[in-house]
Amino acid sequence: MSTPAISVENVTVHYGEVLALDSASLTLEHSRICGLVGMNGSGKSTLFKAIMGMVKPDSGRVLINGEPPMKMRKEAGIGYVPQSEDVDWAFPLSVRDVVMMGRYGHLGFTRRPRKADRDAVEHALERVELSEFADRQIGQLSGGQKKRAFVARGIAQGATMMLLDEPFAGVDKRSEATITRLLRELAEDGATILISTHDLHALPQLCDEAVLLMRKVLMHGSPEVVLQPENLAMAFGLDVMNRG
């Protein structure tokens, strides 16, 4: 039996007195795209941080390919696309600089990019259709282009796992289609992808499976099953059942 890509076992996390995750458990296999669904405050971002090793659980454990998350991070195996509000868009970095950050774990002692690093960055920019914007300051891009730049960072990094926090928020249709296509291609190439999203309509086309989170995993199955109104009502409240 193969080792799961992600194994979250009874993870509980507090921020002071606030309970963010309550014995949450989740297993994801390789080459799958999973949508993470839940209202604000349900623990989605905390779950991401636990998987990346940025938050130490009060109890329980997280394993990535059977190893602690920090090992995967040191090997540059985890790519991360943050929420827009978590990024300082005024920082003087070009789009190419942002994508090159994905190569940091591959650079030698001098931390100077080699030809292989530059080639990986140019290839990633091409895949996300941002080559013409490579020298532009990152904050000058549209919302969708910014998301694509961070996807390119993960591609340049050679990440075998991608975590995307609300990748379709404030994104134009072209960027949404480009990101969706790229994620499907990355999964076909063996990557495991976990996406936090409020865009429930896009889930069946994008994701192989979905998780309903409310501090603990309420349900994990196919998007079609998880998105049934009676299931969404468990996490979002009864008003969901009355929406068109």
CA–CA distance, 44 with 219 (Å, rounded to integer): 14
CA–CA distance, 11 with 151 (Å, rounded to integer): 28
What is the tens place of the pLDDT at every residue in 3-30?
Answer: 999 999 999 999 999 999 999 999 999 9
Q: Is the pLDDT of residue 154 over 70?
A: yes
Q: What value does the mean pLDDT take over residues 133-158? A: 95
CA–CA distance, 72 with 163 (Å, rounded to integer): 13
219-234 in b/e burial notation, b at 16+ Cβ within 10 A?
Answer: bbeebeebbeeebbee
Q: Is the pLDDT of residue 106 over 80?
A: no
Q: What value does the mean pLDDT take over residues 165-177? A: 90
Give the model's confidence band at 241: pLDDT under 50 very low, under 70 low, under 90 confident, else very high. very low
Classify 30-53+77-242 by CATH class. Answer: alpha beta
Question: Which residues does residue 217 pair with via DSSP β-bridges, in sequence order?
Answer: 213
Backbone angles phi, psi at 54, to 5 degrees: -90, -15
Q: Is the pLDDT of residue 109 over 80?
A: no
CA–CA distance, 88 with 132 (Å, rounded to integer): 22
Structure tokens at 148: 């694509």
Higher pLDDT: 179 or 105? It is: 179
Structure tokens at 140: 């000058």
Give the model's confidence band at 235: pLDDT under 50 very low, under 70 low, under 90 confident, else very high. confident
% of the chain exceeding 90 in pLDDT? 78
What is the tens place of the pLDDT at every residue in 52-74?
Answer: 999 999 999 999 999 999 888 77
Give the model's confidence band at 112: pLDDT under 50 very low, under 70 low, under 90 confident, else very high. confident
pLDDT (0 to 100) of residue 155: 96
Cα–Cα distance list, 10 to 21, 26, 85, 121, 222 (Å) = 9, 8, 29, 38, 22
Structure tokens at 204: 């069946």
Please name the residues in contact with 160: beta carbons below 8 A apart, sequence gap of 6 or more.
Answer: 5, 77, 190, 191, 192
One-letter identity of residue 97: D
Q: What angle do CA 64, 68, 69 make, to 5 degrees?
A: 65
pLDDT (0 to 100) of residue 239: 52
**Is 243:235 a contact under the CB 8 Å cutoff?**
no
- The residue whose two tokens read 């086309």 is 205
Q: Is the pLDDT of residue 84 over 90?
A: no
149-174 in b/e burial notation, b at 16+ Cβ within 10 A?
Answer: bbbbbbbbbbbbbbbbbbbbeebeee
Give the model's confidence band at 244: pLDDT under 50 very low, under 70 low, under 90 confident, else very high. very low
pLDDT (0 to 100) of residue 144: 93
